[in-house]
Structure 1
Amino acid sequence: MLDVRFIREHPEMVQDAARKKRMDVDVQQFLDIDVKRRELLSKIENLKALRNKTSKDIPTLQGDEKQEAIARMKEVAAESKELEGPLREVEAAFEALMLQMPNIPSDDVPEGESDADNIELRTWGDIPEFDFEPRDHVELGELLDIIDIPRASKLAGARTYFLKNAGVLLEQAVLQFALYHMVNKGFTPFVVPHLVRDQAMTGTAYFPAGREQAYRMSEDELNLIGTSEVPVTSYHTDETLREDELPKYYAGLSSCYRREAGTYGKDTRGLYRVHQFQKVEQVIICRNDPEVSTREHDHILNNAEEILQALGLPYRVVLVCGGDLGGPQIKKYDIETWMPGRGAYGETHSASKFHDFQARRLNIRYREKEGGTLKFVHTLNNTVIASPRVLIPLLELRQRRDGSVAIPEVLQPFMGGMQEIAPR
């Protein structure tokens, strides 16, 4: 979240951020609530000070004067108690509105309504031309006996799937390759809790705006994560780190769960948009310095590009426009990989920087080496790889006329030396 002092001093900037991000936020309403809250707090503090002074004076008083002081103290206590209810209401409204305040997008974030307005920055790799009629990943999955969607749908409904046979080996190979790649680059690997408390979801800004996308275990007051970003970024909640500990490079491996609310009828075929998937996510916690954050943003983007290049998958990098940028992000790059079955690029990675927006919610700080000043850290994250979505280009781009699929050389050691998946 933003510093409340920043909102008070720059309300026009915050309102313009909401406009650019196409968010329905009323900054003036928040400021009005903030004024009421501060007035009530001031009244309560003044009454508390008066009560404390009177309680100290009472032992020194005698007779009527003492009784008057006791009566006055009771009146003050009653008045203070009457203000507690209004203060609770105002504070609840303040906290709810505070969580709606958007982060300020970077100056170079373009205007736009949706992902259609994102700006292509660069491409890598050649889009292949087949000398035969290529199959999409659903057809290939059935032919190779590695994907079964109809039986999964009978058991679990739409947007579900079984992976089987070499499909399981391929997915595990992709995940293991990506994880080892990050470990070799100095990232600490994590296997994380899949169920987390509201604090972690709110702290990483997946609540309240993204609440409809989460699977919630109401009885236990826990939520299934939609990405390991949530537990990994929350790992240092309420901690104060040393400056010389930073940056922290983390990579979380987990299953992920999303309801995909609001996507009825969109991307219903195949593995593109599903309720459960596997992902390796990279998270960086660094010093509170915009230049450092910019370097680390390029860093995590480059890590993901290295993975796709090693797999030989053509892709493009786009700069995300305001209307496609979430409330907490300052700037975001998406990587979209070419998927022949869609005849288009499809998003496979999102690289986000937040500055101290998440850290303020999670209360993650560090003490500067020089001077000892406490500051909130900056946080960033990006996909390393997500499956089964990455299986779409892996299968479709590397298919042969007979339906077999060539396995990328970098994955073969993770598949026992298997070089292809052939029709069964």
Structure 2
Amino acid sequence: MIDLKLLRHDPDVVRASQVSRGEDPAIVDAVLAADAENRTALASFEAKRAEQKALGKTVAQAKGDEKQAALTSAKAIAGEVKELQAVADAAGARAIELARSLGNIPDVGVPSGGEDNFTVLRHEGQARDFAAEGIDVQDHLAIGEGLKAIDMERGAKVSGARFYFLTGIGARLELAILNAAMAAAQDAGFSPMITPTLVKPETMAGTGFLGNHADEIYYLDKDELYLVGTSEVALAGYHSDEILDLSDGPIRYAGWSACYRREAGSAGRDTRGIIRVHQFHKVEMFSYVTAAEAAAEHAKFLAVEESMLNALELPYRVIDTAAGDLGQSAARKFDCEAWLPSQERWMEVTSTSNCTTYQARRLGIRERGESGTQAVATVNGTIGTTRWIVALLENHQQADGSVYVPPVLRPYLGGLEVLEPVA
């Protein structure tokens, strides 16, 4: 949730944020009106409550008929206090509900617009010239089927569209990627975590995932639990309603979990293979950090992600995501997109977001500062996921259907340097 002090004192900043995100700026006025109503109702309640306390002293000292009259007045005021409290509570709840619908304020320099309005910051690595090598490019599914690594047909038979089995070397390759990612995260100072994949509604809402993209989340109605699309959710909720000690620097975790996404609204997009699926695994970095250090922490996350992509010898580009594609919680988001030879396009493989104090305000996570407690900032970023198999198979394919294995993965694959097709 954004800082209500900012909203009250500089609403134009929030209006501009809404416009840059492609959202309705009129909601700002609705939030201001609800906030004013809440403060007025709260003032009326507090004034009447003070009157009630003063009358209580009178009742204690009164005698006879005077005491009876005072008791009658006290009873009437008690009813008014109860009514005013209900009004104040309702106004406060409405103000908070409306305020929570506002997205985070994008950082200065974030491009305005939607999904296609990103800024390319740089390109890294060199895409192979397969034609010059005399290789007829295959997509990851054809390569994976040749390795007997991916079985989409039986995945659909068992669970439906966009489900799959990773078999044999495919399963080993995913575990290799995730283990290498976890090792890289640990080397960078992150504590490994295996996180829950079911969370309470207040945790999901606190991270900002129940906004415009709520229809992409699986919900178990009978249990009132959500299936997470990233371990970011569980890691953000890990320290909810706590006061943290950040005097020794950020608190960093790396969460490994299964992830689930309905992929609502993506009909016809990336339907072949495992690019856009309902279930996958991911290692996610997450940090609790002071607001002043959040931007530097965000840069660290990007550097860790890039080091992993370089170790996998993948050509990629880094983009500065536009405001309308940030998601509700992020103030800035950098994506790394690997080259996809079969489609001759870029494909997102990592994302890192600086959520500033937005999630922490919603989840009640604070740290002790020189002037009391204050909201912490949160940063998140992917360092390994199932989708990386796609980029690896396609970029490292060989003419005979085999796949080159980068050295970083070999210790997790029994020393294999090449994945060979299975007859």
TM-score band, normalised by shorter chain: over 0.9
**In structure 1, the residue corresponding to 2:408 is in which secondary structure?**
helix
Pairwise mapping of residues 35-114 of structure 1 onto structure 2 (< 5 A)? 35-114=36-115
One-letter amino acid matched to 1:103: N
Deviates more, 1:271-280 or 1:404-413: 404-413
Alpha-carbon deviations, 1:296-333, whole Å to 9, x = none?
A: 11111010000010110000001111221222211111
- Counterpart of 2:28 in structure 1 is 27
Q: CA deviation at 1:85?
A: 4.4
CA–CA distance in structure 1, aligned partners of residues 59 and 84 of structure 2:
24
One-letter amino acid matched to 2:172: L
> Is 1:269 the counterpart of 2:272 in the alignment?
yes
CA–CA distance in structure 1, aligned partners of residues 87 and 213 of structure 2:
29
**In structure 2, the residue corresponding to 1:68 is in which secondary structure?**
helix
CA–CA distance in structure 2, aligned partners of residues 344 and 17 of structure 1:
30
1:286 to 284, 289, 292: 289
Which structure 1 residue ranges, 5 or more long, are not aligned?
none
**In structure 1, the residue corresponding to 2:8 is in which secondary structure?**
helix
Q: CA deviation at 1:77?
A: 2.0
Q: CA deviation at 1:88?
A: 4.2
Deviates more, 1:206-215 or 1:120-129: 206-215
Pairwise mapping of residues 246-261 of structure 1 onto structure 2 (< 5 A)? 246-261=249-264
- Counterpart of 1:153 in structure 2 is 156
**In structure 2, the residue corresponding to 1:259 is in which secondary structure?**
coil
- Counterpart of 2:399 in structure 1 is 401
- Counterpart of 1:341 in structure 2 is 342
Does the CA-based 8 Å contact 1:214-1:225 persist in structure 2? yes
| Percent sequence identity over aligned pairs | 38
Q: CA deviation at 1:84?
A: 4.5
**In structure 2, the residue corresponding to 1:392 is in which secondary structure?**
helix
Alpha-carbon deviations, 1:70-102, whole Å to 9, x = none?
A: 222222122233335444432332221011122
Deviates more, 1:71-80 or 1:333-342: 71-80
One-letter amino acid matched to 2:207: T
Q: CA deviation at 1:68?
A: 2.3
Alpha-carbon deviations, 1:150-190, whole Å to 9, x = none?
A: 11112211111110010001110011011111112221111
Does the CA-based 8 Å contact 1:237-1:364 persist in structure 2? yes
One-letter amino acid matched to 2:400: D
- Counterpart of 2:310 in structure 1 is 309
- Counterpart of 1:363 in structure 2 is 364
Does the CA-based 8 Å contact 2:402-2:420 persist in structure 1? yes
> Is 1:233 the counterpart of 2:233 in the alignment?
no
> Is 1:379 the counterpart of 2:378 in the alignment?
yes
Does the CA-based 8 Å contact 1:14-1:102 persist in structure 2? no
Which structure 2 residue ranges, 5 or more long, are not aligned?
none
- Counterpart of 2:415 in structure 1 is 417
**In structure 2, the residue corresponding to 1:179 is in which secondary structure?**
helix
CA–CA distance in structure 2, aligned partners of residues 107 and 113 of structure 1:
16
One-letter amino acid matched to 1:120: V
Report the TM-score when normalising by structure 2.
0.95
Alpha-carbon deviations, 1:215-243, whole Å to 9, x = none?
A: 12222222111111111222222222223
> Is 1:179 the counterpart of 2:182 in the alignment?
yes
> Is 1:202 the counterpart of 2:205 in the alignment?
yes
One-letter amino acid matched to 1:258: R
Q: CA deviation at 1:20?
A: 0.4
CA–CA distance in structure 1, aligned partners of residues 261 and 144 of structure 2:
23
One-letter amino acid matched to 1:384: I
- Counterpart of 1:192 in structure 2 is 195
**In structure 2, the residue corresponding to 1:349 is in which secondary structure?**
strand
Does the CA-based 8 Å contact 2:294-2:377 persist in structure 1? yes
CA–CA distance in structure 1, aligned partners of residues 203 and 41 of structure 2:
30
CA–CA distance in structure 1, aligned partners of residues 114 and 205 of structure 2:
25
One-letter amino acid matched to 1:147: I
**In structure 1, the residue corresponding to 2:270 is in which secondary structure?**
coil
**In structure 1, the residue corresponding to 2:342 is in which secondary structure?**
coil
Q: CA deviation at 1:373?
A: 2.9
Does the CA-based 8 Å contact 1:173-1:414 persist in structure 2? yes
- Counterpart of 1:6 in structure 2 is 6
CA–CA distance in structure 1, aligned partners of residues 60 and 91 of structure 2:
37
Q: CA deviation at 1:59?
A: 2.7
CA–CA distance in structure 2, aligned partners of residues 211 and 53 of structure 1:
49
One-letter amino acid matched to 1:141: G
CA–CA distance in structure 2, aligned partners of residues 92 and 298 of structure 1:
36
One-letter amino acid matched to 2:112: E
Q: CA deviation at 1:209?
A: 3.8
Q: CA deviation at 1:199?
A: 2.2
- Counterpart of 1:242 in structure 2 is 245
Does the CA-based 8 Å contact 2:45-2:88 persist in structure 1? no
One-letter amino acid matched to 2:66: E
Instruction: Give the alignment's Cα RMSD to 1 decimal.
Output: 1.6
**In structure 1, the residue corresponding to 2:291 is in which secondary structure?**
coil
**In structure 2, the residue corresponding to 1:246 is in which secondary structure?**
coil
One-letter amino acid matched to 1:245: D
CA–CA distance in structure 1, aligned partners of residues 297 and 203 of structure 2:
23
Does the CA-based 8 Å contact 2:237-2:363 persist in structure 1? yes
Does the CA-based 8 Å contact 2:206-2:362 persist in structure 1? yes
Q: CA deviation at 1:53?
A: 1.5
One-letter amino acid matched to 1:362: L
Distance 1:305 1:142, change over 3 A: same
CA–CA distance in structure 2, aligned partners of residues 185 and 81 of structure 1:
54
Q: CA deviation at 1:386?
A: 1.3
CA–CA distance in structure 2, aligned partners of residues 113 and 361 of structure 1:
25
